[in-house]
Amino acid sequence: MGSFIEINDTLQLSSEQGFPKELDYEKHKIKSFTASDFEGRLFEFKDKPKVRIYHMPPVRNFLVQNIDGKWLYWGLVHITEVMHDNIKQTTSGKFKLIYIYTPDEMKSAHKLIDRNRETDYLAVL
């Protein structure tokens, strides 16, 4: 008998799971977003597979957009609320943006943090 709980430092979301629609990479390349553009806003995510635990504020989590299995690192978030569905084995919650990478930082992030060529959205590796 036992339980499996996944501990994460990365909130990796698809649009279906609640990745913020406001964060559009093409728009970001033209005029960079900053966390202050979203100050006071809480974003929701839902139905992440498995029961997960995230770092609690003031410790950051990475925010990653999952685009067809490729990962685009957007910046840092604080997870403010987590809800577990123990029957469906899913995790939902709320987060706030604390730092958004510049487009140049986004190009470096995957190389510095992840280093997995198969999930590298910007193909910098």
What confidence score (pLDDT) does residue 118 get? Answer: 92
- Structural domain contains residue 124: no
Please list the ranges in the chain whose pLDDT falls under 70.
1-2, 125
What confidence score (pLDDT) does residue 123 get? Answer: 87
> Which domain does 22 fall in, by range?
6-119
What confidence score (pLDDT) does residue 49 get? Answer: 94
- Structural domain contains residue 1: no
What's the total number of domains in the chain? Answer: 1
The CATH number covering residue 53 comes to 2.40.240.20
Q: Tell me which long-range contacts 79-87 makes (C-beta under 8 A, separation of at least 24).
A: 79/11, 79/54, 79/55, 80/42, 82/52, 82/53, 82/54, 84/51, 86/51
Please tell me whether the overall predicted TM-score, pTM, comes out greater than 0.85 for this model. yes
